[in-house]
Amino acid sequence: MQASETTKYANRSFQPIIDKCEGCDRIVDEGSVKYCRTYKDPEAKWHLGLCNFATHAKPELNLVKVRVNPLKASKRASRRK
């Protein structure tokens, strides 16, 4: 780590990480306190849900299978010809 990065965290412009940040690859240890390398206030990033910088958490994708009425589908297909 470069000296400029160390002073950046020592100036306390960055807030310590929260428990949801544990396991992320962007965490930096400065003494006994852990900071996010990318964002100054990690709690604000998790406020609305998932942090977009998180490397350890992926958003859930819920795929819903839509049932199509075969009779209506055949009528729609016949109109296109």
pLDDT in tens, 2-16: 555 555 666 667 888
How many distinct structural domains can be found in the chain?
1
Can you tell me the mean pLDDT for 37-61?
84
Say yes or no to pLDDT of 80 above 80.
Answer: no
Average pLDDT over residues 44-53: 84
- Tens digit of each residue's pLDDT (9 = 90 or more) over 16-46: 888 988 888 888 888 888 888 888 888 888 8
Question: Where are any strands of DSSP class E within the chain?
Answer: 27-30, 33-36
Domain assignment of residue 31, given as a range: 3-80
pTM strictly above 0.75: no
